[in-house]
Amino acid sequence: MAAAAGTARQEGAAPRVGLLYDQRMLAHAPALNTEKETPERLRAIWRKLAAEGVTSRCVGMRAKEAKEKYIASVHARKHVDLIRKISSKDSSDLKKTAKKFDSVYFSKGSSESAFLAAGSVIEVAEKVAAGELSSAIALVRPPGHHAEHSHPMGYCLFNNVAIAANYLLNERPDLGINKILIVDWDVHHGNGTQNMFYNDPRVLFFSVHRYGYGSFYPYEADASHVFIGDETGRGYNINVPWEHAKCGDADYVAAWDHVLLPVAEAFDPDIILLSAGFDAALGDDMGDCCITPNGYALLLTKLLGFAKGRIVMALEGGYNPESIANSVCACAKVLLGDKFTLNSPEMQPFESTWRVIQMVRDELKTYWPVLSSKLPENVSLRSTPSYIQVNFLFLFSSSWGLELGPAWSDLRLMNCALMYEMWIALFQIRLLGNLTPSSLTFHQHVMTTVAAFKPHS
């Protein structure tokens, strides 16, 4: 199916799109080529943008380091001190320190790169909020959305988007930014960003990500749809957790049309900060999903109807150089006002996608009545590939450290829908009983629950 699309800009002058790229952020580099997050990611993007004539059409910007006080507004002082001092260590100390954290590396250029990345997102967000730019793209690294209050994580040293959001809300009230929509379309859950704004109704956080019943990085339960915020922030945290790999354009468009866009309209943000990871792109083996460059362009186009088109894209993940370059280029052209035609290899969402969307809507409808209506019926859906179901069986057992034994044959009889219902039951047992996955009590609950959900002949 092909659909024409264009930007939702005001009539008149051509959009002023900021494009920030700085070679100094290439200095953060792994000692070995075993890491996925490398400087080549930025180089590939820049080559593509230059070849397509995009760089000359944008307002070029140079990075500047964030002030420590702005970083410390969302990160613990010991965290800020660690990153500031890390590059003064010798190589053996760098490796030793990195091993204390989850999926992190350090190099001689890490300190400067991290401060530049945070400062870059502040810089472009400020200019978009002030009306100096209509939108902007910050090509930054290291990425940020996994970084927690007190520690780096998942290739992320500082949480760049969270720092920029806090800056707009608390340091620049004169800009009139009172409500921020953060959209995280990276294939991994934005755990750090979620935790930083979990109680804050000024920030609507939306993350769509692979989850796989807790078997996909960062392997945390709070990526589930039942985590919706707390205190005055209840309802302002939205997770759309995919059950499996291979989700593509149709699945993401469905999440936009039936969750994100209705809530965004009700929320009415003043600006949108986009944690733009591209590891859900077709060809990226880390995410193993299937969003095409035009799929990303369509998702971005749908967001331009909000906040007067004031969107700041901050690069997060994406580890296939060709895929990330093509996807960023497609998004840049959308911001510049180019039209495109969506030619997707599939325009039917998975049946699991429809189920997840319904569960998300049910969880949030008390807070967002616009989600109370029924989803369209008689929608053409794709069935979940059988190999994904088989893979889930392994992931289900390995991620929770379970020896399934005789329950294995019972699990094989279940379809994904039944598995998901069973998983929710187990998840609730785990939470209510405060049980660890490896505990004997929880293992007994697993055996009992599997037997209860087993299809009867």
Q: Percent of the chain, pLDDT > 70?
A: 80
Span 223-274, pLDDT tens digits: 999 999 999 999 999 999 998 899 999 999 999 999 999 999 999 999 999 9
146 is catalytic: yes
Dist. CA 368–CA 375, nearest whole Å: 15
Q: Hey, what are 98's tokens?
A: 């990195």
Q: Average pLDDT, whole number, for the chain?
A: 88
pLDDT reported for residue 346: 62
3 has a pLDDT exceeding 50: no
Reduce the DSSP state of residue 374 to 3 states and report it.
coil
Question: Is residue 422's pLDDT more than 70?
Answer: no
SS3 455: coil
3-class secondary-structure state, position 215: coil
Query: Which among 79, 146, 209, 225 is annotated as catalytic?
Result: 146
Q: How confident is the model at residue 408 (pLDDT cuts 50, 70, 90)?
A: very low
- Beta strand 203-210 with 17-20: parallel, antiparallel or unpaired? unpaired
Question: 99: which 2 tokens?
Answer: 């091993």
Please state, in angstroms and rounded to a whole number, the distance separating the CA atoms of residues 272 and 202: 12
- Tell me which residue has tokens 């340091």: 171
Q: What is the distance between the alpha carbons of residues 438 and 97, in angstroms, rounded to a whole number? A: 28
User: Distance between CA atoms of 271 and 385, rounded to whole angstroms?
Assistant: 39
Closest CA to 209 of 223, 221, 199, 194: 223
140-189 pLDDT tens trace = 999 999 999 999 999 999 999 999 999 999 999 999 999 999 999 999 99
The DSSP-derived string for 18-48 is: EEE--GGGG----SSTT-S--THHHHHHHHH
pLDDT of 105 over the 90 cut: yes
Domain ranges in the chain are: 10-353, 385-457
**272 sits in which H/E element:** strand 271-276
Q: Which residues pair with 59 in a beta bridge?
A: 18
Interval 37-84: pLDDT, tens: 999 999 999 999 999 999 999 999 999 999 999 999 999 999 999 999
The CA distances from residue 435 to 179, 242, 334, 426, 449, in Å, are: 37, 24, 48, 10, 15
- For residue 446, what pLDDT is reported? 53
- The CATH number of 10-353, from 3.90.600.10, 3.40.800.20, 3.20.20.140, 3.40.50.2000, is 3.40.800.20
Q: Which conformational region is residue 318 in: left (phi greater than 0), alpha (psi within -120 to 50 degrees), or beta?
A: left
Least confident window among 169-173, 175-179, 366-370, 391-395: 391-395
